[in-house]
Structures are given as C-alpha cells and as structure tokens.
Structure 1
Amino acid sequence: MLGAAKRPYTMRLPNQIERKHEFSLPELPVARGAEHDLAVPRATRVVLALLAAAATGLSAYLAWLSFTGASVAGCDAGGAFDCDHVLATRWSSWLSVPIALPAVAIYGSILAVVAFLSPRVPRGVRRAAWWIVLGLSATAALAAVWFVGLQVLYIGHFCWPCLATHTCGLLLAATAWYAATVGSRRADANVPPRKWIAAAAGALLVAVLVAGQAVYEPPTFRIDRGESHVAVVEAQGSPERADAEPHGDPSTQQRERAAGAASPETPRSAQKPALSRILKLRNTSITLDAYEHPILGSPDAEHVIVKVFDYTCHHCRDQHFQLEETREILGNRLAILVLPTPMNGKCNPFAPPKSDGPTAHACLYARLAVAVWLTDRAKFAEFHHWLFEPETPPAIEDARKKARSLVGEAAIRLFDDGVEPIAQIELHTKLYGALGSGKIPKLVDERMIIDGRFQSGKQIVEVLEEQWKLPR
C-alpha cells in the first residue's frame, strides 16, 4: 500500500458532477423589454376610444344633416344656438364637401388605431399607431380651435353637435399627448421619438383646410330637382275675380280662357287670367290653388313659386328682403305664394314644441297673418311686410293692433275664433312635412325644392333664370 502510486487529483467542474435526481425550476419573468413594454395603460386606451367613438358618432350625425337638409334637434331658429344657421354658412364645407365627412374619417381612424396601442401588439405596429393617433389628434384639436373661433368671432351663433365634437377632439388630443409625453420619460415606454413631427403634420392638414375654405366659397343653398307636375285648371265663378264677365255663355267664355291659357306662344302675363291655378308641388301629392292662398303678385304670373317660412325665423326675414329685390328685377313674371309655417310643435306636428325662445309665438303670428288675408286680401301684403320690417318680430299685441288698423275688427274675430286660420296653417304644415320638413325657408315649385341661404336677390334671380330657362 505504501508503495502504491498515488492517483493524480482531478477537480470536477459542477457540470461534470453526476446528478441522480434532475429537476428544473420555473423560469423567472424576464424584465420588460421591447416585446412586453406597456405602451399605454388600459384606462387611457379606453378614454381615447370613448372620445373617438363619441366624436365619430356626432360627426356622422352632422354629415347626415348635410345630405338630408334636416334640422338639428335641440336648436332654436334665431337663438344663440342656431345650428341651421351655422351649418348653412360657407364654413360648414370644404371645397363643397361637408366638413363633417373628413371629421368622420379622422375620428373613425383614431378609434380603429387605438386598439393597436395595446402591449400585446408588436413594437413596430404600436409605434406606427402612436404616430397616427398623435398626428390625427393634433389635427382634431387645431381644427376645433379654428371652428370654435369662427362661431364665436364671425358667425355669432353656435351649433351644439359641432361644439360637442370639438370638445371631444380637444380632450382626445390632451389625453393622447399627455400619455405620450409622460410615457416618453419612462425607460420601458414605446412612444415615437420626435413626436412633435406628428403635431407639425396635423398643423399642415389644418392649414390646408383653412386655405381651402378661405379661397373657395361654395353655394350655401341646395336645389332638389324633379319632374314637372303643374296643372292649370279653369273654373267658373271664382269670387276673387273682379274681371270675370257677367254676361254671355259661361261655357264659351271658359273655352276661350282655356284656349288662351293653353297657347304656348302667349306668355301667361298677357293672357286672360284663369279662374283657378292649381299647382302640384315637387315630391308631394298636395295641390295648391294660387287664388286661394296668400300671394305676393298676380296668381296669373308666368311663374309662381311657393315660399314655406316662419315669421320668427331670421333666415326667412333675410330672404323676405331678397325676394323683394327678386320681384323688382323679374317684375310681373314672378309671383310668390307665401305660406306661414310656424316652427312650433303647438301648431306644427313636424316641429319641436316650444314654450319659450324665438319661436314661442310663431303660431300666433301665422294665425294673425292668415286672418288678415281672409279678411281683406288686398291688405295682406302690407301686413306681411310690416311683420318682417324690424330685426325681431313685433310684440303680438302690437301685431293685433296693426291688423285691426288695416282691416278692422273682423280680422281679430277670425284670429280669436281660430277655425279658418288654423285650417289654413294645418295645410301649410302638412306641406312642410311632405317636403321632408327640415330647414326653412324653402322655395318650391313644380320642378324643384330650394333650401338654404342666398347672398342676395340677384343670386335668386340667377338661380331662377337657370332653372326656368328665362331670357336674360
């Protein structure tokens, strides 16, 4: 044993030690890296999505109003929140495209992209989503400042769906940029560097918007054209005709009038006036007799157009004076059938009920005007003009006094009784509903429906000359 050779000592490394029992520990979670970083907290993503969804819905509603011509719910005609006035201005569109359509695209894109800010999304996709959200939210915020400024400083009226949309845009931008700014200070965040480039891109888009609106002024009225539906009917013994012949064979006289009225070579203004002129208006089954409704001008004018309006509507007030200019230019070729149509649900089932505000007494003004016409048709035009002269409608008691001074107590009795005037107004509101309700004033004839705002009476003349092919 003593002489046995010693074995050299060999050190075994740990990985060379035989293991009788092999086992493994669960993997420890790795530190958050590029694949696992939290880009945006869940609560922030939810807020962004809710704001974008609300703004998208409001913008879609405004776009629908632009295409249908319907009135905005919850707005007063003539009040501070006069949505129809705001949406009828040149600033409600861009190169003739309703501004609500780009808004739908912007907010809808933000809503779709917010989902890609989740930490489960690959880093590159999340990074691109950040750029889109920051750029489009900056566009929305700057556009909101522009449009709110227009309503405050230039238009002088407000549109509540517009303001609600702009509020969503400002809150959305504030939320997104706050998250991006705070997140960029965290080592584990994944927000794009030089994010102010996104703000510059948003500012550039808004600059294009402003330039387009400043350079191009789109038409602020809409024309709905259709087929002709007019009939001129001869009837005997109209009490309104002072020039009807009292002698002779009535059937012979009627045939002579019909022959004269049917002659295409003779203008209507030079023909013997018909006893009745029935108009079947565009898109409706309602017929109106030009001799049986308030009219400015002769029922036998070459062209008769129907005006659906409200005495408490300031757009109607503006158009009243424009149409006076139009009548001066066109002379006896044009007559206007004026149909007072109150924008108050108390007497108009197609209008919202109003107990206060500018349209509170709309039913009374319309009823009084119709009572004056029923009492003395020759005095109606004077009373009609008198109601439109001041910037706001006169007090209802002053209107009663004016009616009494023009046609006597008979008009007041008709007004107080209400049966005949109310029947007339019911027909007017029925026509308003058949025309699709919506904005007033409306100009209607057998071929077209025009709603919106004109700049002057000359512009109305140009439109009518084009539609009616009048010689200039």
Structure 2
Amino acid sequence: MSNTAKRLLGLIALLALVGLGLSLYLTWATWSTSSLAGCQTDGLVDCDHVLTSHWSKWLGIPVSLFGSLVYTSILAACVLVASRFRRIGETSLLCMSLLAAGSAAWFIGLQFFLLQSLCLYCLGVHLCSLAICTLTIFYLKSVSAASNEDQMRALLGVMEQSPAQNFEQSGSAAGGIKPWIASGLASLSLVVLMCGQILYQPPGIVFEKIESTEPQGNESVVSTSSSETNTIEQLQEENQPIELSNSVDPALDETANEVDGDGVARRFIQFAALKKPIDVASLPILGSPKAKQVMVEMLDYTCRHCRHFHPNIHAATERYGDQISFVILHVPLGKSCNPHVRHEHRDHRNACEYARLALNIWKLKREKFAEYHNWLMESDTPPTLGSAKSYALKLAGKEVLLDQDLASESLNKVADNSDDLMALRGGLPMLLTEGGKLQGIPRSEQEWFEFLENELLLTPLE
C-alpha cells in the first residue's frame, strides 16, 4: 500500500471516529430528550425541532443509532483493509461509505426542505459521511493505480514477483473489490431507510411520566430526573405544611380559604416536573382555576411551534369546557429577559416585550388576559410590537405600559420560568400534567383528544 493510500485510510478512520462520537451523543440526546450543548434556537438552527420530529427516527429507533453502527462498520472495514482480508475490507468500506453519503444527502434534504430547521450536530455527522465517501473513492483509485503499476513493472521484469503473486499480495486489482455488490447493498439499505421513515408515522406528541417523591419536613419538594432549579412561584408561607390536592376541599385543606391580593381563592397543585407546588390561581390561566384538570403550558409568542400548537388548546377548552384549564408560563426566547439565551435571533427580538405585555394584562385586567393571549397567538406570526402595545392599551389602559413595578415583576417571573424550562431539558412548547411532561405537536385533533381522555380522564361535553 502506498503512502498516499495509507494517509487516505487514516483520514477515513479519523472521520469515522468523529462521526461515531457525534452519533452516540445524538442517540443519547434523543432518548433522554436532552437539549444539545451549544445548539441554541436561532432562526434556521433548531436542534430540538429536528430531534423531536419523526424524521429523527426509523420505526421508533433514533436514526443516529444506525449511524453509529455504520461508522463502527467503517472502522472495522479500515482494520480489514490493513490486514490480509483486504479485498473484503475494501468492498465493505465502499458499501458503508456509499450508504453513509446517501443517508447524509437524504437527511440534509429533509432538514432544509421539509423541516426547514437545521441541527448543527446532525450536519456535522452528515459532513463526515460525505467526506468519508469522497476519501474512499480517492483511496480506491490510488490503490488500483498502484496495483496496476506494480503488475506492469512485474511484467517488464523490473520486480522479482510475478504478476499473479503481486496481485494476490495487493488484493486491490481491478477485480479485487466488488463495486456492484457494494453499491447494490448500499442502495437497498437506503431504500429501506427511506421507506421506513415515509411509511411509519409515529405519534406527534410524546408524553413522559415523571416520578415524584413525597414532601419532606415543612417544605414541598419534588425530586425528578430533570428538574433541579427553583420554581416560578415561591409560597408565601414556606414554614407551614401545605396539603396538595387537585380537587380542593375547604373542609380538609386550610389553604382553600386563603385568597391572594386580588381576592381570588388560592389553589396549590404539585406538578412532578416542578420542584415546588404552584398556586394556579395566581398565574395567567386559560379557563377556570377550579377546573378538574390543570395543565401548564410553557410558550413564547415568537415561537412558531407554540403558535402551531395553540389551536389545540382552543379545541380542548371547546370540547371539555371547565373540566380543563391551562396555566401559561411565559418563556420568551429574547436575550434581554431570558438569561439562558446567548444569541438572540431576529425572530425573537420582541419576545420579551410580548411576554411583559401579556403578564401586565393579567395583573391589571385578569378577565382580559385570555382575549389578549388568543389575539397574540391567532396567526402564524405575531403581530407587530406597535399593534400589541395598542391593543394592550385598549384593554388595560396606560398603566400596562408605564408601571415600572409591573415591568420588574414580569421580568422576574420570566427569568424563573426560563430556569424551569432549562431544568426540564426540552424545547417549546412544553406542557406539564401533574404526573409528567408532553412535547411535540399532535398530528390531528383526534390524537390530542385521545391523550386528554386517556391520560387525564376527560369526557367530551354533550
């Protein structure tokens, strides 16, 4: 093997190691629903959207796991090439590199044209695949040319070995590898991959149950696998034990008779995904705080996925009435109010202002919050900031824009909500039930209704 061929083979092995590492990391992130390090939502870049889409899986299995197997096979092929099984190794190397390159082209196309979102780690894997395929072709041309040259020199008597001996030793003459077998197997595997993804339609929403522990001492604490930060609401009386119940009985729960500053009866509910109970009556809510079931929705008015999910919220309240309500936790993706946003995209430049206006409406005119919230979410894109301010003025007066205490309180709430979302390791929108978290967008209203009726035991109004 020539020095050029050795260098090319070494580069192929190095890229396979990089691709293997990235694929294993993506597999772990997909299975654990964890956010990718350094992959913030920024315009086209939206790793969470890519990894939570059904295109990230094949028959329910992360495609990155199959990518790991392909890169492992490429490494094994490199070992075979360097051994006495060179022909088998080169055929395997060509097959795996063609499969990797074809898969890369498929997934890059899906991200650009269908999902319209990019995952930087995924693109890194695909670039490794394309580079490996290119280097493999150069490698095979290099060893083929070297083999032909050696055979010609042997025929001319320059070398002591006979052509047959030299061919056997090199194992890479024109008939050494089996390109048709390699390309055929790669094409067949690629067709199986594409058909599996197109024909298999997994659920649009994924619900993950979260185990909670009993409160200890005088504090209500929940230990979960994903939440380790402060919640959005601190109880005013931390030193008094609170009995938690979704259905509040004034005879049994002394907190049922308490009211907040606006004269609204408090209702504390423990959500397993949050560290401490929250008073659902003191937070922005769509529906009645006394509803049989209360869900928490984390959202941003500039998040397109949140806006796509919103019609499902409206459909649920229409179908089930006062059986369900939705507490709104604002998690704007703007840098000025969200400490976890490092690079703000232009799509989110007004996110903090929208959230502040909505929270101020809630504090000043609670009965107008639902109207304002639904108005902000009614189209595919948010209204202009000027229109949002004008409508807020119409609903709540000048105080909605001028009260600095309200503005400061709103910013504090947003910061706490952002901490909660980071602890949950997921993207927006995210919905919480008392026992778990829900991510994704339903493929149909029926899928959404089935979840609510099977998991929360809701019944449609007659």
TM-based fold match above 0.5:
yes
Superposition map of 1:37-116 within 5 A: 37-38=1-2, 41-73=5-37, 75=39, 77=41, 79-116=43-80
CA distance in 1, matches of 2:344, 2:457: 45
- The residue identity in structure 1 corresponding to 2:73 is S
The answer as to 2:242 corresponding to 1:258 is no
> 2:337 maps to what in 1?
347
Match in the other structure for 2:210 = 226
Q: Is 1:293 matched with 2:274? A: no
TM-score w.r.t. the length of structure 1 is 0.77
Whether the aligned pair in 2 keeps the contact of 1:346 and 1:354 (CA below 8 Å) is no
Report if aligned partners of 1:45, 1:114 keep a CA contact under 8 Å in 2.
Answer: yes
Which residue does the alignment assign to 2:101? 141
Distance 1:63 1:257 in 2: 46
Shift of 1:164: 2.2
Report what 2:171 is aligned to: 190
Find out whether 1:302 has 2:286 as its counterpart.
Answer: no
User: Match for 1:399: what amino acid?
Assistant: A
Tell me, in whole angstroms, the C-alpha distance in 1 between the residues paired with 2:57 and 2:193.
10
Amino acid at match of 2:101: A
1:421 equivalenced with 2:398 (yes/no):
no
Whether contact under 8 Å (2:70, 2:100) holds in the other structure is yes
Q: Cα offset for 1:38?
A: 4.9
Confirm or deny: 8 A CA contact 1:39 1:190 kept in the other structure.
no
The 5-angstrom pairing of residues 367-406 of structure 1 reads: 367-406=356-395
Q: Any conservation in 1 of the 2:330–2:355 contact (CA below 8 Å)?
A: yes
Q: Note if 1:211 corresponds to 2:159.
A: no
Provide closer, same or farther for how the CA distance between residues 305 and 357 of structure 1 changes in structure 2, counting only shifts above 3 A.
same
| Kept in 2: contact 1:38–1:190 (CA 8 A) | no
Q: Which residue of 1 aligns with 2:438?
A: 450
Change (3 A) 1:227 1:159: closer
Question: For residue 319 of structure 1, what is the aligned residue in structure 2?
Answer: 309
Q: In the alignment, what sits opposite 2:222?
A: none
Secondary structure of the corresponding residue to residue 346 of structure 2: coil
- DSSP 3-state at the match of 1:418: helix
SS in 1 for 2:403: helix
Contact 1:342–1:366 under 8 Å retained in 2: yes
Distance 1:456 1:284 in 2: 28
How many Å separate the matches in 1 of 2:53 and 2:274?
Answer: 28
Letter paired with 1:53: L
User: Contact 1:70 / 1:439 at 8 angstroms: preserved in 2?
Assistant: no
Indicate if the aligned counterparts of 1:113 and 1:133 stay in contact, CA closer than 8 A. yes
- Compared with structure 1, are the counterparts of its residues 207 and 257 closer, same or farther at alpha carbon in structure 2 (3 Å cutoff)? closer
Question: What SS is found at the alignment partner of 2:282?
Answer: coil
> Quick one: distance in 2 between partners of 1:447 and 1:93?
26
Residue 277 of structure 1: how far off its partner (Å): 1.3
Larger Rg: 1
Q: Which amino acid aligns with 2:452?
A: L
CA contact (8 A) 2:56 2:62 kept: yes
- Match status 1:338 vs 2:357: no
Task: Quote the residue 1:20 is aligned against.
Answer: none
C-alpha distance in 2 between matches for 1:40 and 1:200: 28
The DSSP-based 3-state class of the residue aligned with 2:278 is: strand
1:166–1:228 Cα change, 3 Å = closer
The one-letter code sitting in structure 2 at the alignment partner of 1:353 is: R
Q: Is the 8 A contact 1:354 1:360 kept in 2?
A: no
* Mapped partners of 2:43, 2:267: distance in 1: 38
- Tell me the distance in 1 between the aligned counterparts of 2:341 and 2:138: 42
Counterpart in the other structure of 1:265: none
Alpha-carbon separation, structure 2, partners of 1:286 and 1:377: 24
Residues 230 and 286 (structure 1 numbering): CA distance in 2 closer, same or farther, change over 3 Å?
A: same
Aligned residue for 2:110? Answer: 150
Q: Please state how far the C-alpha of 1:257 moved relative to its aligned partner.
A: 5.2
Structure 1 SS opposite 2:358: helix
- Give the whole-Å Cα distance in 1 for the aligned partners of 2:41 and 2:320: 30
Aligned position for 1:441: 429
The one-letter amino acid of 1:465's match is E
**1:432 shift after superposition:** 2.0
Q: Assess if the C-alpha contact under 8 Å between 1:304 and 1:335 holds in 2.
A: yes
In 2, Cα distance between the equivalents of 1:356 and 1:366?
16
> Residue 451 of structure 1 aligns to a residue in which SS?
strand
Matches of 1:469 and 1:309 in 2, distance apart?
24
CA 1:77–1:318: 2 relative to 1, 3 Å: farther
Q: 1:463 aligns with which of 451, 458, 461?
A: 451
5+ long unaligned stretches in structure 2: 151-169, 216-247, 255-263
Partner of 1:358: 347
Identity %: 33
Query: CA offset at residue 289 of structure 1?
Result: 0.8
Cα offsets for 1:163-221 (capped at 9, x unmatched): 22212111111111232134234235433333221111111111111111121111233
User: Which residue of 273, 277, 284 corresponds with 2:267?
Assistant: 277
Distance change in 2, residues 1:471/1:257 (3 Å): closer
SS at match of 1:469: coil
| TM-score, L = length of structure 2 | 0.79
Amino acid of the structure 2 residue aligned with 1:425: V
- The alpha carbon displacement at 1:76 in A equals 5.7
Evaluate the alpha carbon distance shift between residue 359 and residue 69 of structure 1 in structure 2; reply closer, same or farther with a 3 A threshold: farther
Give, in whole Å, the separation in 1 of the partners of 2:310 and 2:425.
Answer: 20
Unaligned residue ranges in structure 1 (runs of 5+): 1-36, 232-255, 263-273
Q: Deviations over 1:266-286 (max 9, x none)?
A: xxxxxxxx9221111113322
Partner SS for 1:444: strand
The answer to whether the Cα contact below 8 Å between 1:88 and 1:221 also exists between their aligned partners in 2 is no
